[in-house]
Structure 1
Amino acid sequence: MVTEPLAGAMPVDGRSGSWTPRLALSLASIVLLLELLSFSYIMISTSMPMISAEFQTTQGAWLLTSFLIVGSVAAPLVGKLADTHGKRRMLLVCMAISLVGWLISAVAQNYGQLIVGRAIAGMMVPTLFLSYSLIRDVYPSRIVPLAVSIATSGMGLVAVPAPFLSGWLLDSFGFRSMFWFGAIVLVILGVSIRAFTDESPVRLRASIDLFGAVVLGSGLACVLVAISFGPTWGWAAGSTLAFLLGGVVLLAGWLASARVIREPLIDLNVLKQRPVYLTSLGAGFVYGTSGLFLLLLPMLAMTPLALGLGYGYGVSAEGFAIFQAPIGAMVVAGGIVVGTLVGRGTRPRSLMILASLLMASAATCVAVSSDPKLLLIAFSAAFGLGTGMAYATIPNLLFEAVPPQLQASTASIVGVMQSVFPAVLPVIAFAVLNNSYIAPLADEITQGATFYTSEGYRAAFIIVAISGIIAAVVAFCLPRHIRQVDVSGIEVRTDTTALVD
């Protein structure tokens, strides 16, 4: 490994210092950026009925799928570019591209334009791993665990005001107002991050594998399209099989090319390291577990009790805030707990195991009993605590396993897993629900909506619990003492422009 030290520059490892007003403003900007990323999911689920009615479409799922696909496909290339050209620079580039998507969505005249806007806005997805990789490089070493935990788990804060904010915007100004709101906030945060967050001084001197980026991105996109639309098209349909098999072939082709290309998009020698691939797999199950739970809970709580299905409280979208608020608060609390404990020497591996088991236990409790309401709120809050802890352990595990110069490119793979698993697990859960547990209600009662039996929700939350248990098992398989990946022979440099900028 070759480095070019710079006079007066603080080394990437061993940085000293503590909290300053500038660091606090930097972290607040990053947290709010990730809050906006979370809000972009919540606002679509809230506004989907209005958007579908406006454009007379039954393809509302594309509003989320297009966002997810572009984010997942772009992640590996963005990670590599961040390692070579600067993490803050690529963070701002992703925000600028995403801003274009928010603006297109705000002025879209037809559904196709809206989908294009949502797809471009998906460039926000890489900001998650770019944010904690940047924190690792430029924040004082002793506050990095707490800062990154607050940044990643701070996304739970949006669960408290989101129903009220989205409801107010929709009712008062229509669905376009949410896209204008997102665009304005993105501009403000871009200026703030540029002003208060330093650029990483670490660069990986390498070329960009454009062929690998195209093949890997196309393969991931095909697989995600097949997973997302398999239930609609039919799993045996030609279109589903074409996308799925095409994606598998492309991914296999990427693996073959990565073995022979001198500087592949993702270094397989790094990826095959036990701490790296297990952290990636564990992250996928954690985010899949959380995503499925948070998808099922509002359906359970908002079902009218008058239907006589043995569950449901008939709360409105705004009324659901009494369930979301405790979850969001506990997600943040879980992140602070992990940041504090890791900063004092606790290994993130053990915290990952504990967090995953807590998520699994809470899901199991909901499967057994969701009545009375206070009990369901308590179980949901416990799930939120486990979620916040699990979210915060993931970047800390990567910090142990991967050196700074490979942080963004390696974290991008974790980002892909964090997108793919939440797409796959709901497909599995709803395949079970739709095949065996649709409630036998008359059409005049349901008015076209689908309701499930209480046994169906029990089965779905058991799937959540199983996913959480698998996450705990994966974390248990991590080495007790993680050795950082050797980067001997990889040339890195300290960029003088990063420190001046």
Structure 2
Amino acid sequence: MVTVPDSAVPPSGHSAAAPERWTPRLVFSLVSIVLLLEMLTISYLMISMALPTIAAHYQTNQVAWLLTAFLLFGAVAAPLVGRLADLHGKRRMLLVCVAGAALGSLISAVAGSYGMLIAGRALTGLLVPCLFLSYSLIRDVFPPRTVALAVSVATSGMGLIAIPAPFLTGWLIDNHGFRSIFWFALIGLAVLGVLIALTTDESPLRSKARLDFVGAILLGGGIAGVLVAVSFGPTWGWTDAKTLTYLLGGAALVVGWLVSARTVREPLIDVDVLRRRPVLLTTISAGFVYGASALFTMLLPMIAMTPAILGLGYGFGLTAEGYAVFQAPIGAMGMVGGLVMGLLVSRKVRPQPLLVAGLVTMAAGFFVVGVAHDSKGLLVVLAGVFGFGQGLGYAAVPNLLIAAVPPQLQASTASIVGVFQSAFPAILPVIVFAVLNNSYVAPLPPEMTGGAVLYTNDGYLTAFLISAGATAIGAVVALMLPRTIQQVETDAVAVDGSVALAH
């Protein structure tokens, strides 16, 4: 085997003959990827807007699991998908994930029970690995000069769907029921899969890696056990045997995974890479960015769509279509935040302070909405403020990763971040709704609420303050990132035309 120095590997993973400027095919490729990732955003949006309708239809107060199942499956799948992408190609695995997510949307669309709906949503979680696969693929096949802007645009969106999507979602839910959003997702994913296959090149990078199925089972089972305990603890009782079994069992499985990761030759998540300061702090910060986004998109529609006539101190009684005026600013300003990030990074501005700014902006949005949510105009403005911070955060994370790790480690390292980007949005809503369901359920008869579970005004204040605090912690973590990002050192070893990694 011959060791290949870093200089022998093109910085973006493609040949030196690749074009150094934008071409029509590259533009179509980027637009296809952007639309796919906006389908991920829309998946949050559509579910959040449909929560009141779904909760009433299935008579459940466990609506957080519509998001948690989606993200939990995505968290477990991300490292496996990353390994498979290293072995077989990032474009190929991207298309496999799109196909799996489309199947999940079909299951959700025809679900006859809440359990089946949750199962479909879980499979749709294969959209989660599409995020890191997309920007890793961009890194490999796009010209170096276009990478920073392309990644920022791809991860924060271009407004192609994010702005009109709330109005479309509201129209679908109000006129065709909540199942229509899953049919829309199915059709959209099928079309985008074809477009990506036609316009996007496959990454030439490969690495020799083994799949750590044991690690996947331990980590996935551990996270699931803890989440079940936190979610159902208020119902079962915190000292109940079932709660303790899930909680302690889940914790034991996570510890088992940590031990396994230190002893297995090729673990699911490389702890040595994860413990590098830039990678670890970026990973944790990414979790808080995505966790905060999930909380905001779940809590805001529940406030706005609650009828004011119930006398809870909040609510405007909006339909799903009427709520679109609150959601559209999040997508629009998220696009602006991402473009600002991409342009500044292209001009050599460090992404770390912009990540901090994004998290601080999101925390401020949570706090102000928590203490003042009785004005439609103010909420629309605050939604835009939150969206701008969200756009900065979304775009900063991949740019920090690109600076921290070489191309050969992009898929596997990005999959680590993918776990946190899924786990935090899965865990934080479960914690918040556990608090709401335990202490802040509004004492209203079912005939007044249509069977839906509603919460007190103090409950929402508490929920937004918890969210603001969690996001502020994320900002502190981002502040700890080093001013100069040192790239993880690795030797690339050529093996039968592939690239094996030693680090």
TM-score under structure 1 normalisation?
A: 0.89
Residue-by-residue CA offset, 1:318-368 (whole Å, 9 max, x unaligned):
111111111110001000000110011011111111111111222222233
Letter in 1 for 2:352: R
- The CA distance in 2 between the partners of 1:471 and 1:10, in whole Å, is 30
Task: Indicate conservation of the 8 Å contact 1:72/1:220, yes or no.
Answer: no
Q: Does 1:387 align with 2:386?
A: no
The residue aligned with 2:200 is 197
Q: Does 1:459 align with 2:462?
A: yes
The alpha carbon displacement at 1:110 in A equals 5.2
Aligned partner (choices 169, 177, 193) of residue 172 of structure 2: 169
The residue aligned with 1:182 is 185
Task: Indicate conservation of the 8 Å contact 1:224/1:420, yes or no.
Answer: no
Aligned partner (choices 202, 211, 216) of residue 208 of structure 1: 211
Q: 1:233 to 1:30 in 2, by over 3 A?
A: farther
SS in 2 for 1:2: strand
The residue aligned with 2:379 is 376
- The CA distance in 1 between the partners of 2:347 and 2:366, in whole Å, is 30
- For the aligned residue pairs, the C-alpha RMSD in angstroms reads 3.1
Q: Does 1:259 align with 2:266?
A: no
Letter in 2 for 1:381: G
Question: 108-117 or 376-385: which moved more?
Answer: 108-117
- The CA distance in 2 between the partners of 1:51 and 1:452, in whole Å, is 16
Q: 1:229 to 1:151 in 2, by over 3 A?
A: farther
Q: Does 1:282 align with 2:285?
A: yes
Q: Does 1:333 align with 2:336?
A: yes
Question: 394-403 or 210-219: which moved more?
Answer: 210-219
Q: Does 1:422 align with 2:422?
A: no
Q: Does 1:142 align with 2:145?
A: yes
The residue aligned with 1:499 is none
The residue aligned with 1:117 is 120
SS in 1 for 2:206: strand
The alpha carbon displacement at 1:161 in A equals 2.9
Question: 54-63 or 460-469: which moved more?
Answer: 54-63
The 5 Å alignment of 1:458-497 reads 458-488=461-491, 490-491=492-493
Q: 1:234 to 1:132 in 2, by over 3 A?
A: farther
The alpha carbon displacement at 1:228 in A equals 3.9
Q: 1:293 to 1:120 in 2, by over 3 A?
A: closer
Task: Indicate conservation of the 8 Å contact 1:29/1:192, yes or no.
Answer: yes
The alpha carbon displacement at 1:16 in A equals 5.8
- The CA distance in 2 between the partners of 1:420 and 1:304, in whole Å, is 32
Residue-by-residue CA offset, 1:383-406 (whole Å, 9 max, x unaligned):
110011011101111111111111
Q: 1:207 to 1:365 in 2, by over 3 A?
A: same
Task: Indicate conservation of the 8 Å contact 1:203/1:493, yes or no.
Answer: no
TM-score under structure 2 normalisation?
A: 0.89
Residue-by-residue CA offset, 1:403-447 (whole Å, 9 max, x unaligned):
111111111121111122122222333344445544555666445
The residue aligned with 1:12 is 13
- The CA distance in 1 between the partners of 2:364 and 2:386, in whole Å, is 8
SS in 1 for 2:39: helix
The residue aligned with 1:219 is 222
Task: Indicate conservation of the 8 Å contact 2:139/2:407, yes or no.
Answer: yes
- The CA distance in 2 between the partners of 1:109 and 1:301, in whole Å, is 28
Q: 1:195 to 1:231 in 2, by over 3 A?
A: farther
Letter in 1 for 2:40: L
Structure 1 unmatched runs, 5+: 497-501
Question: 11-20 or 123-132: which moved more?
Answer: 11-20
The residue aligned with 1:351 is 354
Q: 1:155 to 1:457 in 2, by over 3 A?
A: farther
The 5 Å alignment of 1:288-303 reads 288-303=291-306
The alpha carbon displacement at 1:100 in A equals 2.6
Q: Does 1:244 align with 2:247?
A: yes
- The CA distance in 2 between the partners of 1:492 and 1:232, in whole Å, is 56
Question: 301-310 or 135-144: which moved more?
Answer: 301-310
Letter in 2 for 1:17: E
- The CA distance in 2 between the partners of 1:390 and 1:429, in whole Å, is 22
Task: Indicate conservation of the 8 Å contact 1:304/1:313, yes or no.
Answer: yes
SS in 2 for 1:491: strand
Letter in 2 for 1:326: P
- The CA distance in 2 between the partners of 1:264 and 1:32, in whole Å, is 33
Q: 1:476 to 1:112 in 2, by over 3 A?
A: closer
Q: 1:392 to 1:302 in 2, by over 3 A?
A: same
Q: 1:8 to 1:337 in 2, by over 3 A?
A: closer
The alpha carbon displacement at 1:44 in A equals 3.3
Between the two proteins, what is the percent identity of the paired residues? 60
Q: 1:256 to 1:332 in 2, by over 3 A?
A: same
Q: 1:210 to 1:433 in 2, by over 3 A?
A: closer
Q: May I ask how many residue pairs the two structures share in their alignment?
A: 496
Letter in 1 for 2:468: A
The alpha carbon displacement at 1:159 in A equals 4.6
Residue-by-residue CA offset, 1:15-45 (whole Å, 9 max, x unaligned):
7612211111111111111122222333334
The 5 Å alignment of 1:405-444 reads 405-439=408-442
Q: 1:63 to 1:495 in 2, by over 3 A?
A: farther
Task: Indicate conservation of the 8 Å contact 2:329/2:380, yes or no.
Answer: yes
Residue-by-residue CA offset, 1:66-93 (whole Å, 9 max, x unaligned):
3222211111111111122211111111
Q: 1:237 to 1:156 in 2, by over 3 A?
A: farther
Q: Does 1:80 align with 2:83?
A: yes
Task: Indicate conservation of the 8 Å contact 1:169/1:175, yes or no.
Answer: yes
The alpha carbon displacement at 1:155 in A equals 7.8
Task: Indicate conservation of the 8 Å contact 2:289/2:474, yes or no.
Answer: yes
Task: Indicate conservation of the 8 Å contact 2:287/2:423, yes or no.
Answer: yes
